[in-house]
Amino acid sequence: MSERTMKKSKVTSMLIALAVTAVIGFVIYYIALPAMNFHSVGFYFYWIILGIVFSLAQSISNAAMMKRKSMYFDKSISVGIIVSAVFLLILVCGGIFSATLFHAKGYASVIHTETAAFEDDMPETTNVTNIALMDTDSARIIGNRTLGSLSELVSQYSINDNYTQINYQNRPKKVANLEYDDFFKWMNNRSDGVPGYVIVDPVNNTAAYQKLEKPLKYVASGYLGDNLERKLRFSYPTKIFGSYYFEIDEEGNPYYIVSCLSPKIALFGAMDVSEVIIFNPCDGSSKLYDVKDVPAWVDIVYDGELAMEKYNWQGTLSGGFWNSVIGNKNCKMATDDYGYIVIGDDVWYFTGVTSVTADESNVGFIITNARTGEYKFYPVVGAEEYSAMGAAEGEVQEKGYTASFPALINVNGQATYIMVLKDTGGLVKLYALVNVENYGIVATGETQVEAFAAYKKLLRSNQVNVENPDGVKKNITVSEVRLITVDNLPTIYITSTDGEVYKGYLNSDESLILIRSGDDITVFCEATEIERLYFIDSWEYNK
């Protein structure tokens, strides 16, 4: 073969290799959707793979041009290998020099945690309406039952497993959109789109289906151009996407809240939310916000796992990297799960904080604002969450119920865990209250009212905070006793001779049935929102 022919063959070979690489590169990009961003690990893997593909394609092409039976390598082929090697070197070096070993103080200073007083921020609670006691597993069960009652939908759609915890019209809710059940269901229904979403009330254990006037076009289960992430990637090719959360605004309109990440340290270190995309899945429109400018109706900007990870950076690395490995002086970290609580107009994550060297106790608690990233620490010492969950499960061990991850509330000035107990089917059966400082004090009830009444009685019998500043002690003479059923609970109303009424539940205190007209008794009670009506904590005969 002449030199001229050989040069022509090499040019042809390179063009073929470039074409093959372009086609494979497009396929990989279309499927994997890497961010074209120097701070994205996926970006480097993408170009490493393309360098290898180019070299293999050119070697095969060269062999074919030279009529050889095996791949043929020459200097031109080394270009692809060099490209791959360069990107691999940057990836490895970037990872090393972004590590906590070199930037412990930087990681520790990513967040600022305010120490606050538990009693000031957490007012006393008599009925929980701002905490999602139901976990996601139970929400899925109730949501699936709701969808199952809609025969025209259940055969074509399923509910997304990732329920989003939101604050909707000042109430905690869990929402999840419907998804195409499989590829063929997408093919059959893509022209109509996804018709709606399910909203679950995690306080009252109810769910409802919401049909949309304009269906969702872009969802996670969509294929080709209907896929949510693909639509976002083609709209924002350089953004490093973090979490995707389906939310609704105060009017019930659906959106996806997509966090965009950037490093705060070196090339890849301390990835944190810097921008947020609010995406309308009905028409594909979107808007990019700086993280500090996100609208107030948005609830989840910072993923719960990221929020806990950032606290752990501060808790373990404040004393330096080597202290986090050896010695662990003053090192603390969040427990490995979290719950939700609504404060004001925002959703907050709640989790305990334990010493790295401790096993079953907390040194305090943190709450994290899921929208703003604000952190607060409460130095309340006591049992960690899993010990409290075990104590609640042990109280009804014969039933085999399992506890949800608890939340922290203030009952009679006492830091108290509240949680639900579920049966094997995941349905809520009981409410449980466990004292943080003494997790041997455990009360359960079929309703919150029952559980609170039983818990307060236990506090009094255990001489814990007997002098409740908001409580009332009254010596009365009973004029009338009435027993009726309210919300399936046997309820007793006691009227005193001065016309005041006292309400109690027999499920919480069966001894109330002993009270008769004419008895002189002492009642430990709490005022209600209704004048001259009191709720009975406990009672005793006058001596």
State the pLDDT at residue 132: 76
Give the phi and the psi of residue 387 in degrees, each rounded to 5.
Answer: -65, -40
Distance from C-alpha of 450 to C-alpha of 454, rounded to nearest angstrom: 6
Given pLDDT bands bounded at 50, 70 and 90, which one contains residue 279? Answer: very high
pLDDT tens digits for 361-390?
Answer: 788 899 999 999 999 999 888 888 888 999
The mean pLDDT of 334-345, rounded to a whole number, is 86
pLDDT tens digits for 382-418?
Answer: 888 888 999 999 988 888 899 988 888 888 788 899 9
> Of all helices (H) and strands (E), which one includes residue 13?
helix 3-32
- Please say if the pLDDT value at position 235 is more than 60: yes
The mean pLDDT of 16-39, rounded to a whole number, is 93
Residue with tokens 């399936």: 488
Who contacts 445 (Cβ-Cβ below 8 Å, separation ≥6)?
430, 431, 451, 452, 453, 454, 507, 508
CA contacts within 13 A on the Cβ side of 265? 20
State the pLDDT at residue 336: 83
List, in sequence order, every residue forming a beta bridge with 522; answer none if it has no partner: 475, 540
Share of the chain above pLDDT 90, in %: 50
Residue with tokens 């952190």: 375
pLDDT tens digits for 500-525?
Answer: 999 888 877 788 999 999 999 999 88
Distance from C-alpha of 488 to C-alpha of 472, rounded to nearest angstrom: 27
* Antiparallel, parallel or unpaired: β 407-411 and 501-505: unpaired
Distance from C-alpha of 179 to C-alpha of 218, rounded to nearest angstrom: 10
> Which of 82-86, 87-91, 443-447 has the weakest average pLDDT?
443-447
Model confidence, pTM: 0.82
Angle among Cα 205, 207, 208 to the nearest 5 degrees reads: 160
State the pLDDT at residue 9: 66
Given pLDDT bands bounded at 50, 70 and 90, which one contains residue 462? Answer: confident
364 burial type by CB count under 10 A (0-12 exposed, 13-18 middle, 19+ buried): middle
Contact of 470 with 418, CB cutoff 8 Å: no
